[in-house]
Structure 1
């Protein structure tokens, strides 16, 4: 039995060792990407593209006519100050919580690599990663919902498609939330069982 546990622990450490540098790389890339995105929004020349046009583009389920994608649209448009400030706040808030989630997930992988799987240190890291991930998703969904409501004011014919896309995104976020809830609960139960077994011994 102990040999099997050691083998599992070694596998945990091995996989965690592979994931640690990848997680760190993702965190760095995400941070640089966020800084670049905010810089582009803030420092591009001020134009006439308002928040209504931004909301329209962000919630459009089909390809924007004349542009490759939403990023291409943003790069070619000049936003007014209201749109700049709103987007900068959204990007900053989402990026902060997302980077924090990745940071604590990276710490959790570090715990796994050190052989700390079902203990308070790993559980604390997991809870923080979960919490920040929830906040990041909330900001994203609230921003998207706000843009969706704003886009309704333009009385587009494809409102149904926009709502359908929002529901698809909401479903994805709900599945993501449910999955991480299960992982967190498993860690909590494992930690409690581990502590109980230590007390028994």
Structure 2
């Protein structure tokens, strides 16, 4: 499998943070988005950002900004579709997505996802992590490996009203790649002001 392209998902409305772009909030002297870019860029062949509205607010990133092609903020799958359409233009076979508000995700994200896809007709893999208290395995729907070959299927599903990531991945026998939780949750994301304070404390550990 060729090295995938990377797409950072920043298309949400951040209602629990009072609106605005969570990725642009400061964390240890630079934006959360900058942390995500620094972590994902070495793992992929190129990067783009999925976001809606005025794209100039992300001009400093130097990244292409991909808007949803499905109206009314239908969720992360719309960002995945935007990434797949962009990747198709680049001649890529797959993308790996990461959320713009999750600064501590694994530095081996891409290698673990792609290794789990061995032998699949359509390499479709979601990240997952296990709750250390309950032992429950949680799927991380904004972190995944997605095949360009299924982009038209995804477009049709979104146009038919499908919104839940796992409903679509289950349709195509998507796999899970489990990531260990040691110390901090690698998929900890910033949704609220309290989360931001916690992330700032974690960044200085």
Normalised to the residue count of structure 1, the TM-score between the two structures is 0.25
Bigger radius of gyration among the two: 1
Higher helix content, 1 or 2: 1
TM-score w.r.t. length of structure 2: 0.24
